[in-house]
């Protein structure tokens, strides 16, 4: 299972990359705004900086909602760096754009996916990745992991190459449940990744090993 970090914060991206287990990055307009990144030039430079930190796919989202606009923006983004994946919203124009990009060999991430039907459309259009937002589904009283299971089952049944990128992760447990469900990728806040380190028996065990060593070695 691949681990992506879901942020535009360079400090967090560097920290996750330093762990040696980071496979890629996803961003979205809200995450860019949270870091105060505004203006086309600054936004494009920020993507380039992220690509220089992480050697793996970096999702950069279009903000156009019409086919022509998405194509123009996506081609511009894709030209920034070979690792850029054009993130396209799950709308009719988006599916048309994903098909266009797929035919041209440009990688895509179909975002804002909340149902198996939407995931099926994304796969048929040739999306490289599909992003079901499980945390937001949980927030609204439905079972996000169940959707991941459903999409994985459909994709495996028909041998679709689209990777299931579990997004909107809220906890370490979410990552584990997505791994059990067979998600190809989880994109997570840094806190959810580092939560996987924690177990009290590890801390207690290490403390005892070190104390026992000290007893005989001083």
Q: Burial letters for 105-139: b for 16+ Cβ neighbours within 10 Å, e otherwise? A: ebbbbbbbbbebebbbbbbebbbbbbbbbbbebbe
In whole angstroms, give the CA distance from residue 163 to residue 179: 13
Residue 162 or 168: the one with the smaller Cβ distance to ligand G3P is: 168
The pairs formed by 112-117 with CB atoms below 8 angstroms and a separation of 24 or more are 114/90, 114/147, 115/147, 116/147, 116/150, 116/151, 116/154
To ligand G3P, the closest distance from the beta carbon of 140 in angstroms equals 11
12: left (phi over 0), alpha (psi -120 to 50) or beta: alpha
For ligand G3P, how many residues bind (rule: CB under 6 A)? 9
Of 167, 181, 183, 193, the residue at the interface with ligand G3P (CB under 6 A) is: 167
Query: What tokens does 113 get?
Result: 């996916």
Q: Is 215 a catalytic residue?
A: no
Of 3, 22, 25, 28, the residue at the interface with ligand G3P (CB under 6 A) is: 28
Give the contact letters, 177-206, x = binds to ligand G3P (CB under 6 A), - = no.
----------x-------------------
Q: Where do runs of H (alpha helix) occur along 35-163? A: 40-53, 67-78, 92-103, 116-125, 134-139, 144-158
114 binds ligand G3P (CB under 6 A): no
6 binds ligand G3P (CB under 6 A): yes
Residue 6 or 149: the one with the smaller Cβ distance to ligand G3P is: 6
Of 2, 96, 99, 136, the residue at the interface with ligand G3P (CB under 6 A) is: 136
168 binds ligand G3P (CB under 6 A): yes
Residue 164 neighbours by CB under 8 Å, 6+ apart:
119, 129, 130, 132, 148, 151, 152, 155, 182, 183, 184, 185
2 binds ligand G3P (CB under 6 A): no
Of 16, 26, 108, 155, the residue at the interface with ligand G3P (CB under 6 A) is: 26
Query: What tokens does 26 get?
Result: 């996803």
To ligand G3P, the closest distance from the beta carbon of 66 in angstroms equals 22
Which among 11, 72, 87, 96 is annotated as catalytic? 87
In whole angstroms, give the CA distance from residue 77 to residue 69: 12
Residue 60 or 123: the one with the smaller Cβ distance to ligand G3P is: 60
Residue 30 or 157: the one with the smaller Cβ distance to ligand G3P is: 30
Could you list the residues that contact ligand G3P (CB under 6 A)?
Answer: 6, 26, 28, 133, 135-136, 167-168, 187
Catalytic amino acids?
A: 87
């Amino acid at each position: 299972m691949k681990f992506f970090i879901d942020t535009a914060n360079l400090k967090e991206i560097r920290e996750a990359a330093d762990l040696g287990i980071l496979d890629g990055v996803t961003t979205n307009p809200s995450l860019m705004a949270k870091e105060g990144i505004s203006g086309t030039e600054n936004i494009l430079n920020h993507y380039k900086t992220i690509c220089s930190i992480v050697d793996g796919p970096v999702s950069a989202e279009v903000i156009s909602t019409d086919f022509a606009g998405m194509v123009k923006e996506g081609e511009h983004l894709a030209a920034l760096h070979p690792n850029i994946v054009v993130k396209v919203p799950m709308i009719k124009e988006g599916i048309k754009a994903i098909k266009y990009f797929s035919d041209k060999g440009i990688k895509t991430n179909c975002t804002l996916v909340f149902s198996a039907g939407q995931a099926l459309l994304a796969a048929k259009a040739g999306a490289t990745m599909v992003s079901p937002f499980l945390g937001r589904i949980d927030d609204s009283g439905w079972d996000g992991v169940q959707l991941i299971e459903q999409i994985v089952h459909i994709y495996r049944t028909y041998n679709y190459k689209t990777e299931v990128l579990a997004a909107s992760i809220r906890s370490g447990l979410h990552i584990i449940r997505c791994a059990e469900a067979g998600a190809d990728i989880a994109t997570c806040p840094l806190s959810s990744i580092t939560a996987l380190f924690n177990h009290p028996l590890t801390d207690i065990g290490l403390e005892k090993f070190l104390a026992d060593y000290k007893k005989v070695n001083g």
